[in-house]
Structure 1
Amino acid sequence: MKSKKALDKARELARAIVESEEYILLKESEKSLHNDKKASDLLSTYNKKLDKFNEIKFKRDEELLKKYHEEITKLKDDIDNNTTINNLYRCQKNYDNLISNINNIINYFTGNDKKSKCGNCSGCKG
């Protein structure tokens, strides 16, 4: 059965992804974030303040908006200077690039590549 072969290859690809440096480093950086209370609290506080800011926007309370904006800006600066969080973001970006590249390859070879101008003509063997 030909679909079995495709599913076997998908399993093989999944194993290769899990064994990739990008995946391993991402999981290690997630663990580091989990173990870094300061970094975890910083992200949690930032997300809560951002949610509150978005709620307040509709109330048009300019003074309260300004207060939350200042707090969010300060928290964002702290996040930008936090090594654990920056490492997580870098690892996430690298992993996302890997997955994107894999998807691009699959899309190219299945003819679903929206970026390609290829019309499956006989001019190329791609």
Structure 2
Amino acid sequence: MTTWITICDTCKREDWAARGSQDTDGETLAALVESAAQGVGSLRTRRQSCLMGCKHGCNIAIQAHGKLAYTLGDFTPSAESAQAIVDYAALHAESASGQVPYRSWPEGVKGHFVTRHAPLPEEE
């Protein structure tokens, strides 16, 4: 089963304008996550313009059909953050329910969880 990493590509951290960057922080993080996830068979990435978590930028969502879903935020657009996101998403993919024991979390995702969503029901 595929676990999706959705990356907000419009996120801008508070100091974005002062840094004079051409790309948004979300675009930078998205490129780093996409690169880190390449070749990880159970993961796919996609970009979304605005996950509406601006106070927590940079934001990502981790989702898979029939599993708990998570929104994480307040990442710096760095290779270390991207790798931690991908490592956590791979653990999510391995889990039958999407729940990953805290002791298994990569250090780089601790403190970044914003919300957890129950899986959608199978029937209407």
The structure whose residues are more often strand, as a share, is: 2
Same fold (TM over 0.5): no
Interval containing the TM-score (normalised by the shorter chain): under 0.3
TM-score (normalised: structure 2): 0.26
Q: From the CA coordinates, give the structure whose radius of gyration is larger.
A: 1
TM-score normalized with structure 1 length: 0.26
